[in-house]
Amino acid sequence: METNQISEENLLENLSFEKFRQEVLKDYKVVCESRETSLLSRKEVLTGKAKFGIFGDGKEVAQVAMAKFFMPGDFRAGYYRDQTFMFATGMATVEQFFSQLYADPDLNNDPFSAGRQMNAHFATRFVDENGNWLDLAHKKNISSDMAPTAAQMPRALGLAFASKVFREVEVLHQFDNLSNNGNEVCFCTIGDASTSEGPFWEAMNAAGVLQIPLAVFVWDDGYGISVPKEYQTTKGSISKALSGLQKKDGTNGINIYKLKGWDYAGMCEILDEAIKNIRETHTPALFHVEEMTQPQGHSTSGSHERYKSPSRLAWEKEWDCKRQMRDWILANSLADENELNDIEDNAKYFVKESKQKAWEKYINPIKKQVEKTITLLKKVADDNHEIQQCIKDLSSLREPVRRDVMKTLASAIDLASSNDNIQEVKNYYEELLKENKELFDSDLYNEGAKSALKVKPVPAHFHEDAELVNGFEILNRYFDELFAHNKKVIAFGEDLGHIGDVNQGFSGLQDKYGEERIFDTGIRENTIMGQGIGCALRGLRPIAEIQYLDYLLFGLEPLSDDVATTHFRTKGQQSVPLIVRTRGHRLEGIWHSGSPMGMIINSLRGMYVCVPRNMTQAVGMYNTLLESNDPALMIECLNGYRLKEKLPSNLIDFKVALGMPETIKEGTDITIVSYGSMLRIIQEAAETLDKLNISCEIVDVQTLLPFDLNHSILNSLKKTNRILFIDEDVPGGAAAFMFNKVMEEQGGYRWLDVAPRTLTAKDHRPSYGSDGDYFSKPNSEDVIRIAKEMMAE
């Protein structure tokens, strides 16, 4: 009996040892495959088959450890060193890695970016083809990687913050496809040198305040390209520098762990406990993973022998994590030399084969285009030597790209323009133009059912005795209805919660809907945007506030780099329906009356930019945006909150179509195009001009992005033959944008009797006080003077 029992225990022990052994060897296999991928990829770049490469060699072991604790529902926001993590979690294959290296534009081959991103920029699908959120709570999720160092930080904060929202907001518990009681951890990775960036510090502080499930891994290889960490970080150590954030009993803060990047067993042990704790308690953590290496240097551009000392290079060889893991396996008798050699040989073979498959998938469609082009060109060649040369040149290319095909076809069309068979060449050229447009130029915005441009407009209704109320009250009543109506909406920003924003749009609503849905944030525009991005990516409908338009610059980077590119860089696999609410245009002084619209529309292609003239129009635009998946910036008129407006009776249903200007005064002599606060000044001027027998037609463009989709401004111009574009931006800013749209895109120049004009603010920011405003920004006398000049011309 007793002996039997012992042998059963032995058996169990043996079994669990074997399981453990197999798991270690499986991890080692991933490490080897990942290393081979780095080595072979570098060769592909050096031989010219790929343009640039950046790899995860030297970081493999930490990533197989980290991958063990990444559960379905979790998110990663990281950077370009994480291929091993992707392989270990099964979210990427080696073949897919190579497809992206070759910039294969087929989403089936590069499922992260359809060739739109540099290699090692990963993503998983968040929304289906119709823009509906997938079951993210049961999937492993990668928010699309970006190249700017630390740009993942604001979004990482937001992805983790969303877990807190899902856990704390009861009305969200029903959405179990989006979250499982907020148990999802966001794994964030960043390089040691990138922790020098402001957004890193802002995010770490905010995480400590917010108490959210964020796990930040710093891959510390001692360098940011050539600059060592002594030049990057106080005390040369990010864990030391951040030690003041350490959580203690009874405080908030973060937990800080130090790990060694080659210590497989040590890392697994610490991460097991630490990640569990993050998941349960929502206490964020920093994992400072030291002693990592770069066997091949930073990237395929340049070599690290130029800046690393011989002793550093020797140290890196010895402490290479792959070598250390191998030694550890042998020392602990988990496998013998032969078994490890087999794993290594198989990895080499597997990676080579994967590379070859990816290359064939990439090159075959192009080769087909080359073949067809040559066939068509032969039909028009006759004895045209130049075309024969084109055929020769194209056939001789060993690694042709689509560009070569297009250039050849374009030349042939010119060279054989009179040939009877040229039409076929032209047709093929057009067909490929269309195909390439879809491959390289699509999906900047939602194009399907969730496009904001497909939302049906609904006019505002007013009762006969509709109340006249302050602008802010229109918004206040609207937000009240909105929060009752749409459980996924949350709103936050500086002073937005307790006092209900600086202009009372949310006044009283925190009491009614709870601190979990309407709340204050610290003064940190970059990460307020990040909170919005993370929540939007996870299927919520955040309204994130920038207190004044002038402070948008602090939050512009995540909007421009991240939000505006998300849909494009994932070819529609991720949507970020964030609404950024702010207020701007005229008020007082250099930093409270800005209207830098040119800067905004040029940096935010991929977002919509709404510039409503009053709060009623703003409501109609909010409703439209909330029906769609497109992200947008809403700029309310800072001086409009106390102006009276008629209260519509259908606040929650009223929808303004984007890109549809509205004529707010009809006229016959001059078309004046503008938006926002400027319109009231133009209306005032128009009254005077009426008395002078100059009849102005005033057009409110309503949205700058998109701009006048139906070319309605042209119809006004056809009637008046004179046009003036006015705004409060600098010369050459958004007024020049509108000018370009109407003159070039709409062909407005054909309908002009006199030169078209712009009227803008001065080059400098507005001086303070009433006179500062009057002499810095366009005023009604300016409008009258220019209108008179145009009439006299």
Report in angstroms the alpha-carbon separations of 417 from 376, 405, 411, 422: 14, 18, 10, 6
Q: What are phi and psi of 614, to 5 degrees?
A: -150, 180
Contact segment (CB under 5 A) with Mg ion among 193-201, 365-373, 516-524, 723-731 equals: 193-201
CB of 262 to Mg ion, least distance (A): 16
Judged by beta carbon distances under 5 to 8 A according to partner kind, the member of ligand TPP, Mg ion, none in contact with residue 225 is ligand TPP
Q: Which is nearer to Mg ion, 192 or 645 (CB)?
A: 192
CA distance 591 to 507: 25
The closest of 543, 436, 441, 449 to 128, measured between CA atoms, is: 449
Closer of 299 and 593 to Mg ion (Cβ): 299
* Residues between 135 and 194 that touch ligand TPP (CB under 6 A): 147-149, 191-194
Nearest to 140 by CA among 198, 206, 69, 234: 69
Phi and psi of 761, rounded to 5°? Answer: -75, 180
Q: Which residue is nearest to ligand TPP (CB)?
A: 191
Q: Closest Cα to residue 672, out of 786, 792, 584?
A: 786
Type and span of the H or E element at 723: strand 723-726
Question: Checking DSSP bridges between strand 541-545 and strand 223-224, what pairing results, if any?
Answer: unpaired
Determine the interface stretch with Mg ion among 220-228, 299-307, 431-439, 580-588 (rule: CB under 5 A): 220-228
Looking at the Cβ atoms of 221 and 443, the one nearer to ligand TPP is 221
Closer to ligand TPP by CB, 150 or 633: give it. Answer: 150
In the list ligand TPP, Mg ion, none, the entry touching 728 (Cβ below 5 to 8 angstroms by class) is none
Which does residue 148 bind out of Mg ion, ligand TPP, none, counting CB within 5 to 8 angstroms by kind? ligand TPP
> Which H or E run contains 745?
none
Q: Does 81 bind ligand TPP (CB under 6 A)?
A: yes
298 touching ligand TPP, by CB under 6 A: yes
Residue 191: CB minimum distance to ligand TPP, A: 2
- CA-to-CA dists, residue 507 to 472, 518, 688, angstroms: 9, 10, 39
One of 11, 12, 15, 225 touching ligand TPP (CB under 6 A): 225
Q: Give the integer Cα–Cα distance in Å for 168 and 642.
A: 35
Using the minimum distance from each CB to ligand TPP, give the nearer residue, 224 or 539.
224
219 binds ligand TPP (CB under 6 A): yes
**Using CA atoms, how far apart are residues 62 and 84, in angstroms rounded to an integer?**
9
User: Which residue, 253 or 261, has its beta carbon nearer to Mg ion?
Assistant: 261
CA–CA separation, 593 and 29 (whole Å):
60
Contact call for residue 192 and Mg ion (CB under 5 A): yes
Residue with Cβ nearer ligand TPP (77 or 335): 77
Instruction: Report in angstroms how near the CB of residue 160 gets to ligand TPP at its nearest.
Output: 20
Among 104, 202, 221, 494, binds Mg ion (CB under 5 A): 221
22-61 mask for ligand TPP (x: CB under 6 A)? Answer: ----------------------------------------
Contact between 82 and ligand TPP by CB under 6 A: the answer reads no
* Residue numbers 65-94 binding Mg ion by CB under 5 A: none
Residue 572, interface with ligand TPP (CB under 6 A)? no
At what angle are helices 264-281 and 60-67 packed, to 10 degrees?
Answer: 40
> Which one-letter amino acid corresponds to residue 493?
G
The correct pick among 184, 221, 525, 562 for binding ligand TPP (CB under 6 A) is: 221
Torsional sign, CA 239, 243, 248, 254: negative
Q: If contact means CB under 5 to 8 A according to the sort of partner, which of ligand TPP, Mg ion, none does residue 617 touch?
A: none
SS3 161: helix
Running DSSP on this structure, what letter comes out for residue 120?
T
Query: What letter does residue 458 receive in the DSSP assignment?
Result: B
> Which segments of 580-707 does DSSP mark as H helices, in order?
597-603, 615-626, 678-691
Burial class (CB in 10 A: 0-12, 13-18, 19+), 603: middle
Residue 223 interacts with ligand TPP (CB under 6 A): yes or no: yes
Cβ-based nearer residue to ligand TPP, 58 or 640: 58
Q: Considering the complex, state which of residue 234 and residue 332 has its C-beta at the smaller distance from ligand TPP.
A: 234
Among 56, 73, 131, 191, binds Mg ion (CB under 5 A): 191
Q: Closest CB to ligand TPP among 289 and 647?
A: 289
- Contact region with ligand TPP (CB under 6 A), list: 217-225, 278-286, 452-460, 537-545: 217-225
- The answer to whether the CB of 694 falls within 8 A of the CB of 669 is yes
CB nearest Mg ion: which residue?
191
| 3-state SS track over 26-77 | HHHHHHHHHHHHHHHHHHHHHCCCCCCCCCCCCCHHHHHHHHCCCCCCCEEE
Q: Pick the stretch among 223-231, 399-407, 592-600, 667-675 that binds ligand TPP (CB under 6 A).
A: 223-231
290 binds Mg ion (CB under 5 A): no
Q: Is 224 in the site for ligand TPP (CB under 6 A)?
A: yes
Nearer to ligand TPP by Cβ, of 302 and 459: the residue is: 302
Angle made by CA atoms 562, 80, 364, in degrees to the nearest 5: 95
Q: Which residues bind ligand TPP (CB under 6 A)?
A: 81, 147-149, 191-194, 219, 221, 223-225, 298
Q: Which residues bind Mg ion (CB under 5 A)?
A: 191-193, 221, 223
